[in-house]
Structure 1
Amino acid sequence: MIDLGYSLSRRFPDPPQTDYRTADVRTLRHDLFCGDVYVADVKADREISTAWGWVPVLDFAWALCDIVERLDRDPRGSRAATTQFAELDFTESTDCVTFERRFGWVEIAADWMAADEPPLTFNHAELRREARDFLHDLVADLTDMHEGLGDNPAIWDLLARFPRV
């Protein structure tokens, strides 16, 4: 079972003069909503998490949904034996999270994991569902906290692009 989560940073608050209603995509993805994120395998009691406080959590959720879709480009779907690969780079560091899909399974690993630690492994369809749920739940939380964010056209487009499964 997959658990995706986040916490917002108190050290890196959003600028108080931000107009969330008109914020552009770059601002939404890279300049706001900083904190930490994690991906956990509940059954194995293991997780990949950041502890930096500056990760743009909306960008992480957005990029995760993009990556899950990119990993599904092979028309053979879960029957595809060819490995499909994607990376999620963190803009403020050299660290990244890697995603490898083979057949219906996705392995997730991070640069900062110990060399002998195995990657987290999830069913692709389950990862897609959880990533989209995470995105929608995160946007709902952020919309509750920030007046006008729910009226931002970029947020509407994002949620329409990745509907709940």
Structure 2
Amino acid sequence: MIDLGYSLSRRFPDPPQTDYRTADVRALRHDLFCGDVYLADTEADRELSTAWGWVPVLDFAWALCDIVEELDRDPRGSRSATPQYAELDFTESSDRVLFERRFGWVEVTADWQPADEAPLVLDHRALRREARDFLHDLVADLTDMHEGLGDNPAVWTVLSRFPRV
């Protein structure tokens, strides 16, 4: 089972004058909602997490949904032995999360992990479902905390692009 989660940072709060209703995509993805994220395989009791406090959590959720779709471009889908690669890079640093899909499995590693640590191995369909659920749950949480965010057209667009499965 896959678990995705986040925590918002108290060290990097959003500017108090922010109008979430009209915030543009760049602000939503890179300037707001900083914190930390984790991706865990609960069956193997292993996780990949950040501990920096400045990761834009909405951008992470959005990018993860994009990556899961990118890993599914091979028309043979889960029957394909050809590896499909994608990476999530953090704009604020040189660290990356690397994804490799072969058949129906996705191996997830990070630059900051020790080289001898085994990758997380996740079912692609479960990762798609969990990534989309995480995005929707995160937006619901952020909307509860920030007035006007639920009325932002960019938020509507991303939620409609990645509906729950």
Shorter-chain TM-score category? over 0.9
TM-score by length of 1: 0.99
Instruction: State the AA in 1 paired with 2:82.
Output: T
CA distance in structure 1 between the aligned counterparts of 2:112 and 2:25, rounded to whole angstroms: 29
- Equivalent residue number for residue 58 of structure 2: 58
- Equivalent residue number for residue 31 of structure 1: 31
**Which structure 2 segments of 5+ residues have no match?**
none
CA distance in structure 2 between the aligned counterparts of 1:123 and 1:42, rounded to whole angstroms: 13
SS in 1 for 2:51: coil
Q: Deviations over 1:68-110 (max 9, x none)?
A: 0000000000001100000000011110000000000000000
Identity of aligned residues (%): 84
SS in 1 for 2:99: strand
CA distance in structure 2 between the aligned counterparts of 1:141 and 1:102, rounded to whole angstroms: 33
- Equivalent residue number for residue 153 of structure 1: 153
Structure 1 position 84 matched with structure 2 position 78: no
CA distance in structure 2 between the aligned counterparts of 1:106 and 1:150, rounded to whole angstroms: 32
SS in 2 for 1:156: helix
| Pairwise CA distance, 1:48 | 0.4
SS in 2 for 1:82: coil
- Equivalent residue number for residue 93 of structure 1: 93
Instruction: State the AA in 2 paired with 1:40.
Output: A
| Pairwise CA distance, 1:115 | 1.0
CA distance in structure 1 between the aligned counterparts of 2:154 and 2:92, rounded to whole angstroms: 23
Instruction: State the AA in 2 paired with 1:32.
Output: L
CA distance in structure 1 between the aligned counterparts of 2:21 and 2:80, rounded to whole angstroms: 42
Instruction: Give structure 1 regions of 4+ aligned residues with deviation exceeding 2 angstroms.
Output: none
CA RMSD of aligned residues (A): 0.4
CA distance in structure 2 between the aligned counterparts of 1:113 and 1:45, rounded to whole angstroms: 16
**Which structure 1 segments of 5+ residues have no match?**
none
- Equivalent residue number for residue 114 of structure 2: 114
Q: Deviations over 1:120-141 (max 9, x none)?
A: 0011000000000000000000
Instruction: State the AA in 2 paired with 1:102.
Output: R
Instruction: State the AA in 1 paired with 2:111.
Output: D
CA distance in structure 2 between the aligned counterparts of 1:95 and 1:160, rounded to whole angstroms: 29
SS in 1 for 2:43: coil
- Aligned ranges for residues 31-50 of structure 1 at < 5 Å? 31-50=31-50
Instruction: State the AA in 2 paired with 1:95.
Output: D
Structure 1 position 142 matched with structure 2 position 142: yes
Instruction: State the AA in 1 paired with 2:81.
Output: A
Instruction: State the AA in 2 paired with 1:61.
Output: A
The number of residue pairs the alignment matches comes to 165
Instruction: State the AA in 2 paired with 1:66.
Output: D
SS in 1 for 2:106: strand
Instruction: State the AA in 1 paired with 2:92.
Output: E
